[in-house]
Structures are given as C-alpha cells and as structure tokens.
Amino acid sequence: MSNQKAFVPTMGALHDGHLSLIQIAKQYSSDVVVSVFVNPLQFESPTDLENYPRDVEGDTLKAQSAGATEIWTPTTAEIYPDEVSPISAGVIGELYEGANRNGHFDGVLTVVDRLFKHVQPTWAIFGEKDFQQLFIIRKWVKEMKLPIEVIAAPIIRDLDGLALSSRNVRLNKEDRKVALVISRALRQATHERSVETARDRLHDVLSSEPNFTVDYAEIINEESFAPATGSKRARALVAGWVNGVRLLDNMQMQTQVII
C-alpha cells in the first residue's frame, strides 16, 4: 500500500457530509485516515463544548462503511501533552466566525498542526461548509510550505435545503423550519446580478424570520475573503442562532458576472 495518505479530520457526530469527505478521500488514496477529536481550543463556550454530540462507536462504524482504513480517536492528552502555544490565524481569523468566537481559528490551526504532524498526509479533505476555516487552513499550509494538498469538498444538504451539520440534531421540528431561512436567503441572494442587491436580498430574507438571530451575513471575495465589490468569485456567508443552536452556511454566487 502506498504511504501517501488521504486524511479527513473530524470532530465526530458523523453524518452524510462527513461521509462524502471520506468518499472523496478514497479518490486520492487507498489509505484513508479519519480522526475523531472534539477540539476544546476552538470552542468559545464551555457549555457548547459540553453539548457537542459524541458517538465514537457509531462514528467508527460509519467511517469504516464509507471506506476509511484507519479511525484515530486521540485523547486530549495525546493531542496536547504539554503546554499549548496557539498558532495565530491572523487578521482573517478575527473576522466573521472569529469576531464573536475569540481564538476559534487559532484553536483550529493549532489542532490541525498537531493532527498533520501525527498523520503526515499527502491530501487533507475539508468541507466548504466551514468556508472560512477552509480558507485559513489553505493559506496557512501555503505559508508554511507543507507538502499537503488541501482538497475542498462541496456542501451536502438535506432534501429541505438545510446544510448537514452535527448540530442539526439539537433542532426540534419547529427550530428546523426556522433554520431553513438560511438556505432560502442564500439561494435568493446568490442569484442576484450585483453584490449590492445580493447583500440586500440576503439581509431582507433573513430578517423575515423573527426567530432567527443573525450573527453575520456578507458577500465575500473567495480569493481574499474581503467583502466583495466586483468579483467574479464571490460567495455569500451566513451564521446565526436558532433557539440556542448556532448554524452557519454559505453559497457561491450563481451568476457569471457580478457587477
């Protein structure tokens, strides 16, 4: 077997979105490593960390059925055996997700660094749902000149349009109806012909649902992560709260030219 590994890092509570990452990993290597580790450094709230769903036995079975050849479930002591020196995610790490989640992306890069050093993959697969995370990891890998190719995997959605997330299990029937405003707003915004009208549409649709609390909603340039002005590569980002559950989603602009 080739020693070139494809790696899918996860925090567990695996769903079809995670399994799609494993299936993509199989296209790159017959040796697919999946890690399951709930990283305490990337949670802004001890309660959120405590409430994060965990099912190691179920995750192992799902990962194996999707084609993983190794499931690694390290302890916190294994990942952080000594004093932790966080890796800075820089200015972009302080925007959007990072603005209200102090140190979140520092925690992400710190754990990814530890995971990469252990697994030493040739390819690492990350989902586009956490688009800012994907952007920051790609930027860091490039800056550090790591011999790892970061592969982006498309968002997997349920039939009603809600992006799959481990947090969705905390939504009751009514909460889920509220949460659908996210994908509805993204879908409508990304079909607009200009950045300005896309932003307006995004905010208008989100504000139409009184039980959804917006954290942020923006149209960004995918290549710089700055607010889009006239980019052909623009993406709408949304994050917010539904009855105490924080959800995020994004969607690429569908029109060919943004003016």
- The residues annotated with a catalytic role in the active site are 18
Residue 228 C-alpha from the chain's centroid: 20
End-to-end CA distance of the chain: 50
Angle formed by the axes of helices 16-28 and 56-66, nearest 10°: 40
225: left (phi over 0), alpha (psi -120 to 50) or beta: left
Can you read off the two tokens belonging to residue 173?
């029937």
Distance CA 44, CA 259 (A): 37
Residue 182: C-alpha distances to residues 107, 163, 189, 220, 253 (Å)? 26, 9, 11, 17, 15
